[in-house]
Structure 1
Amino acid sequence: MKVDVSRIAWSYPGSYYTLSQMTAYQDEPEGLYIRTLHKDVHRSRIARLVVLHEGQAIPYREEATATSLSLISDFGSVKLIFEGTNTIQFYGENVGLGIEFIRASHAVPVREGQCDVNCDGQRERVRMTMLHGKMAIESPWNGDNADYVHVRCEAQPTDSSFEGVFELYRDSMVWPERTYASFAESLANVEASFAHYLDAAPKLPAHYSETRELAAYVNWMSLVKPYGHMLRPTMYASKNGMSGIWSWDHCFHAMAVAEQDPDLAWHQWMTLFDHQDAFGTLPDTISDGYIIRSYVKPPIHGFALQWMMTHTDGITKDMLAEAYSPLSKWTNFWLKHRDSDGDGIPEYHNGNDSGWDNSTIFYEGIPLESPDLATYLIIQMETLATIAHKLGKVEDARQWTKQADYLLANMLEHFIVDDVLCAKRSGSHEIVDSKSLIMFIPLLLGERLPKSVRDRMIEELKIEGAFLTKYGLSSERLDSDKYEEDGYWRGPIWAPPMFILSHALRELGEISFSQELARRFCDLVALSGMAENFHAETGKPLRDPGIVWTSSVFLLLGSKYL
């Protein structure tokens, strides 16, 4: 399995650092960079790596696996590995390694073969240590700071190989003195770590083996350790541009790792609840450096928890006790604070709140009453009733069941017009004209939907060329005048609705169709990778090419729904 570092970050579980092939930006030339994902920075690129021969930069190509990254030239090569979350080890033969720091203020030699570099724009300090070979520092002083800092790592004149360490430390002015294992020992350790993770990852049919390994790698390395606002080990949405976690992505991550690591799955499900406000609201997104509360995301959390309770044995009574109060508050936020016309139907105030940011259901304005939101809340209240029973809260369980039944009855009366589910503007209850796939999310309600309604919905999903393409379900019907090939939620195929609808159809007994949708999506990912979304008609990968809910849904559908 190969990792294309121009598309998917090369990183390590727990780390806030990646190596990525980057295009030119301002005064930063194209090349392979060590990057920081920390958000309190002016620049994310820390240093550019070059391969040297006789002191000059030479062309090379990258070859990456889950555990090592090789820079291969016509004269020799350099191999890099993560020794830990903050430490990159390198080993070179017959060539040198040049490290060109981006706007570093200065470099200070510490002892022979060792120096400190201050990368103030990235809020990082770097200790470079040669374990074998020699180091040369170029750091011309301009009277205020260094004009630039370049470090060359090479073999001694009587040798052909060198070995060294690039260690980042940002929380102290003093490097914590330590020793390092050899490159060979560190490589064996990281290979064993990934092999263990891969062995425990969901199992898929053999013809998906290489894609399964890539998906497992994306999930494995997506983890960041607790730091700043991140209070738990958390799988980021991506270690490319979308380096943070949104408050519905984490639910798909949790389901994907629930069987192989229940504790990690629990941290994923809970991580946004660590920042729940007094009104029960969850942030839109968080990272180590910021919490954004401009929007919310849909209340899919009850569905995800119910799925984990049903499909795994890892959800303990203590976990349910931890979840009960925050999940209750999150549910009540929607019931109490998102119903401006008081009709008992919760509403979205922005497309971003739905997760389907620019879906055509929001084309005519907001606030919007949409049946997908009511569906999520009904399932969430039913999940709360189940948890309350398990915790001995009998009256709570009765009340949650009563509220779920009330919202279901209200939803069916409110949204069904001539056997068709419709979204409506809050207040006026004007019907919204939309051909968005979001209108099919209520299939999660199963037989609680009237048979005539659900049969019509399933029949429409099965029409080739309507929503259904050879790659999956488009987010906007293809014959819609608002369909856009690269229109975000107005056309492309996305992982979340593919999982939700495959699951809903399976629960309704549409086993064959559910399997077909799962197969089409898994084939799409095998063809086009772990992209944020995909062109519905060509399968071309779109937007961020290394998104963790795509790898997670691939593993879920491929292991449980084929």
Structure 2
Amino acid sequence: MTRHSTTMDAAALAGLAGRHLDLVQAPFTLPRSRVLVFREDRAELAEQGGADGAPPATALRVHTSEYERWLDDCRVIDELAVQDASGLALPVTGVLPHAVEFGDGAATLTFAGASALSVGGAAGLSVVWTTPDGERTCVELTARAPSVRLHIAADRTVRHEAFGSQDDDLAQTERLWLDWFAKCPIVRDDLQQMAAFCWWVLGANIVELPGLGDARGVVPSKIGYVGVWQWDAYFIAMGLRHGDPALAREQLEIAFRFPSEDGQLPDVVHEAGVLATSDDLPQADRDRLRRAGSQIADPNAPVPLTKPPLAAWALAKVLEAEDAPEWAREQLVRIRRSQDWWFTGSDLDGDGLPEYGHPYSSGLDDSPIFDGPLPTTAPDLGAYLVLQDLELARLAERYGTDAAGDPAGHRARAARTLELLLGLWNEASGRFEARAAGERVASDAVVGFMPLLTGALPSPVLDSLIAALGDPERYALPWAVPTVSAADPDFSATRMWRGPVWVNTNRLIVEGLRASGRDDLAHDLAERTVALVVHGGGPHEYFDPLTGEKAPTATTAFGWSAALFIDLAVELSAGA
């Protein structure tokens, strides 16, 4: 059972998380808020790889977080500083989840609700800010009004008010974060600091989604990924289950809430609707999709956009933490229909093994397996479909066939899919290979390890996959597992899905090794994965497999990396 902190522990955990809040890779923000505060010089520091050794910041920059908008397009304040009576800006001298400190405590910035910042300090100090249009405002703090609130509207305009003591704003913001950290799982001592930071990431990435009532979406990142992507929701729920099962269930609910008439689940649920087909994209993106469209699917029809079928697996994991039978039955109806859709709506060549109609639906859209024509028959998709049918069979036996369907039918379909999946095995190359519009794809990519999830591979096939994981010329790099073999001509240590290590694919391989009876290797890869996140300085989107550092173009404070670090840390700490 997961251990959680007490209120006293929560303050200590908040302090541990604060060690990572550099205002460069981890901004100052609040659960449910769309406001982000960075160091004013964050771009320069990001090129340096972080704030270590850099001079103290004297100004901050404020942005909002919006769906499909670049951070620089969402600027609210270009420079926010606290100045002394001589006009000298005070340096930032401390950051905790609830407060940013200037001048060793001479002034403090905190939140005043989700859409306002509060700055308070000694009389004689001034709060100065400049908006993107060049307008500069200076408010002097006085004995009667030692604080100022900056209210940020939806159109990014700023309204300010001077007021008395800031104590209530500080107390309310601190209480919100302490309540969050009180749910943080307690793990091994060597993993606890990073677990606290990862728990902060999950809390910081909570947003409200207009149009969904008071639904709380834990987004992949407030820096560029403001929406609930389907498989991100699955991985994020797996981490949340260890501290907040209700919030974990809420992520799955959002992902399942808007199926199409034929059962397909959307790729993304966001504040303006859903992304389920190419018709939901801007015109430029639709044109680009047409040019990359399937050679089999109707080029004039919308291209379905979804994510890999891991819904039942994620549901089962969440239910391990806290059973919810009625809720589970409601979700299973949608999952069963989405599984059926893959066989009726995405088996584009009619051979019984569904394909990816577009790279977006794989989640690994820059993988070299998609360099050829579409549709793509991929070993990861076949493996996920086998796993999902087996999970549906188990869940049907637990929660009833009305919701999940006939267990025997699911197992029979899983067996047929497995047989077709094994047809992708190339004995000569010793790996599972994708097919592009029926033609062999030579790329040696991480998707070839996903059949481990079936737990039913023939011994020679299993042995070959284990050998590949241990081969220093292919996958046993200093930091494993790269998403493309180092021996493949398309390998890049830094390009998305063409070599960097992703925590989610590592987590799936860990699961596959366990399912295949290799608990020793699963444990070793789990340890190496959490060590990677610690070494890399945080739960980044993806990591260089040669250095273990954040890849230059990777997003920081990334949701599923944080969640899966917690998931692995809890498992590794069990019995420790």
Could you state the TM-score of these two structures normalised by the residue count of structure 1?
0.82
1:267-308 deviations in Å (ceiling 9; x for gaps): 111212223222322222233135333332211212211222
Query: Structure 1 residues 275, 71: CA separation in 2 closer, same or farther (over 3 Å shift)?
Result: farther
1:325-346 deviations in Å (ceiling 9; x for gaps): 2112211221111112100010
Q: 1:248 aligns to what SS in structure 2?
A: helix
For 1:443, the equivalent position in structure 2 comes to: 452
1:164 aligns with 2:173: no
Query: Structure 1 residues 181, 152: CA separation in 2 closer, same or farther (over 3 Å shift)?
Result: closer
Tell me, in whole angstroms, the C-alpha distance in 1 between the residues paired with 2:407 and 2:454. 19
1:88 aligns with 2:112: no
Query: Structure 1 residues 535, 230: CA separation in 2 closer, same or farther (over 3 Å shift)?
Result: farther
- Aligned pairs, how many? 503
Task: State the one-letter code of the partner of 2:546.
Answer: E
- 1:32 corresponds, among 57, 60, 81, to 60
Q: Is the 8 A contact 1:247 1:297 kept in 2?
A: yes
For 1:99, the equivalent position in structure 2 comes to: 129
Task: State the one-letter code of the partner of 1:37.
Answer: S
Q: Is the 8 A contact 2:348 2:357 kept in 1?
A: no
1:366-399 deviations in Å (ceiling 9; x for gaps): 2111111011112212222233333432763332
For 1:308, the equivalent position in structure 2 comes to: 318
For 1:238, the equivalent position in structure 2 comes to: 221
Q: Is the 8 A contact 1:229 1:287 kept in 2?
A: no
Q: Is the 8 A contact 1:9 1:240 kept in 2?
A: no
1:11 aligns with 2:20: no
Q: Is the 8 A contact 2:148 2:163 kept in 1?
A: no
Q: Is the 8 A contact 1:50 1:57 kept in 2?
A: no
Q: Is the 8 A contact 1:24 1:31 kept in 2?
A: no
Q: Is the 8 A contact 1:99 1:152 kept in 2?
A: yes
Q: Is the 8 A contact 1:262 1:315 kept in 2?
A: no
For 2:140, the equivalent position in structure 1 comes to: 154
Task: Structure 2: give runs of 5+ residues left out of the alignment.
Answer: 1-17, 44-57, 279-304
1:408 aligns with 2:418: yes
Tell me, in whole angstroms, the C-alpha distance in 1 between the residues paired with 2:213 and 2:493. 36
For 1:47, the equivalent position in structure 2 comes to: 77
Query: Structure 1 residues 480, 31: CA separation in 2 closer, same or farther (over 3 Å shift)?
Result: farther
How big is the shift at 1:555?
Answer: 0.8
- 1:298 corresponds, among 283, 292, 308, to 308
Bigger proportion of residues as helix: 2
Query: Structure 1 residues 250, 13: CA separation in 2 closer, same or farther (over 3 Å shift)?
Result: same
Tell me, in whole angstroms, the C-alpha distance in 1 between the residues paired with 2:138 and 2:264. 51
How big is the shift at 1:9?
Answer: 2.3
1:416-444 deviations in Å (ceiling 9; x for gaps): 5459443343653x321011111101111
1:385 aligns with 2:396: no
Tell me, in whole angstroms, the C-alpha distance in 1 between the residues paired with 2:315 and 2:137. 50
How big is the shift at 1:266?
Answer: 0.5
Q: Is the 8 A contact 2:366 2:498 kept in 1?
A: yes
Per mean C-alpha deviation after superposition, the further-off stretch among 224-233 and 43-52 is 224-233
Tell me, in whole angstroms, the C-alpha distance in 1 between the residues paired with 2:82 and 2:173. 24
Tell me, in whole angstroms, the C-alpha distance in 2 between the residues paired with 1:481 and 1:194. 47
For 2:544, the equivalent position in structure 1 comes to: 535
For 2:97, the equivalent position in structure 1 comes to: 66
Tell me, in whole angstroms, the C-alpha distance in 1 between the residues paired with 2:165 and 2:67. 32
Query: Structure 1 residues 379, 195: CA separation in 2 closer, same or farther (over 3 Å shift)?
Result: same
For 2:255, the equivalent position in structure 1 comes to: 272
1:222 aligns with 2:205: yes
- 2:328 corresponds, among 320, 335, 340, to 320
Per mean C-alpha deviation after superposition, the further-off stretch among 456-465 and 179-188 is 179-188
Q: Is the 8 A contact 1:368 1:423 kept in 2?
A: no
Tell me, in whole angstroms, the C-alpha distance in 1 between the residues paired with 2:98 and 2:200. 9
Tell me, in whole angstroms, the C-alpha distance in 2 between the residues paired with 1:537 and 1:426. 30
Tell me, in whole angstroms, the C-alpha distance in 2 between the residues paired with 1:317 and 1:164. 49
Q: Is the 8 A contact 1:422 1:431 kept in 2?
A: no
1:376 aligns with 2:384: yes
Tell me, in whole angstroms, the C-alpha distance in 2 between the residues paired with 1:167 and 1:498. 42
User: RMSD of the TM alignment (CA)?
Assistant: 3.0
Tell me, in whole angstroms, the C-alpha distance in 1 between the residues paired with 2:266 and 2:306. 6
- 1:263 corresponds, among 243, 246, 249, to 246
Query: Structure 1 residues 41, 393: CA separation in 2 closer, same or farther (over 3 Å shift)?
Result: closer
Q: Which has the higher contact order (CA 8 A, sep 6+)?
A: 2
From the CA coordinates, give the structure whose radius of gyration is larger. 1
- Over the matched positions of the two proteins, sequence identity in percent amounts to 23
1:197-249 deviations in Å (ceiling 9; x for gaps): 32322222112222122111111111012324686211010011222232211
Tell me, in whole angstroms, the C-alpha distance in 1 between the residues paired with 2:106 and 2:253. 43
For 2:267, the equivalent position in structure 1 comes to: 284
For 2:480, the equivalent position in structure 1 comes to: 472
Q: 1:385 aligns to what SS in structure 2?
A: helix
Per mean C-alpha deviation after superposition, the further-off stretch among 455-464 and 280-289 is 280-289
For 1:547, the equivalent position in structure 2 comes to: 558
For 1:502, the equivalent position in structure 2 comes to: 510
Q: 1:411 aligns to what SS in structure 2?
A: helix
How big is the shift at 1:552?
Answer: 0.9
Task: State the one-letter code of the partner of 2:39.
Answer: Q
For 1:342, the equivalent position in structure 2 comes to: 350
Q: Is the 8 A contact 1:484 1:490 kept in 2?
A: yes
Q: 2:501 aligns to what SS in structure 1?
A: coil
Q: Is the 8 A contact 1:483 1:491 kept in 2?
A: yes
Q: Is the 8 A contact 1:8 1:240 kept in 2?
A: no
Q: Is the 8 A contact 1:475 1:489 kept in 2?
A: yes
Q: 2:350 aligns to what SS in structure 1?
A: coil
Task: Structure 1: give runs of 5+ residues left out of the alignment.
Answer: 104-147
Task: State the one-letter code of the partner of 2:539.
Answer: M
1:202 aligns with 2:230: no
Q: Is the 8 A contact 1:472 1:536 kept in 2?
A: yes
Tell me, in whole angstroms, the C-alpha distance in 2 between the residues paired with 1:451 and 1:377. 21
Tell me, in whole angstroms, the C-alpha distance in 2 between the residues paired with 1:524 and 1:259. 21
Q: Is the 8 A contact 1:493 1:533 kept in 2?
A: yes
Per mean C-alpha deviation after superposition, the further-off stretch among 399-408 and 332-341 is 399-408
How big is the shift at 1:322?
Answer: 1.5
Q: 2:176 aligns to what SS in structure 1?
A: helix
Tell me, in whole angstroms, the C-alpha distance in 1 between the residues paired with 2:425 and 2:213. 39
For 2:470, the equivalent position in structure 1 comes to: 462
Query: Structure 1 residues 23, 405: CA separation in 2 closer, same or farther (over 3 Å shift)?
Result: same
Could you state the TM-score of these two structures normalised by the residue count of structure 2?
0.80
Q: 1:203 aligns to what SS in structure 2?
A: coil
Query: Structure 1 residues 68, 523: CA separation in 2 closer, same or farther (over 3 Å shift)?
Result: same
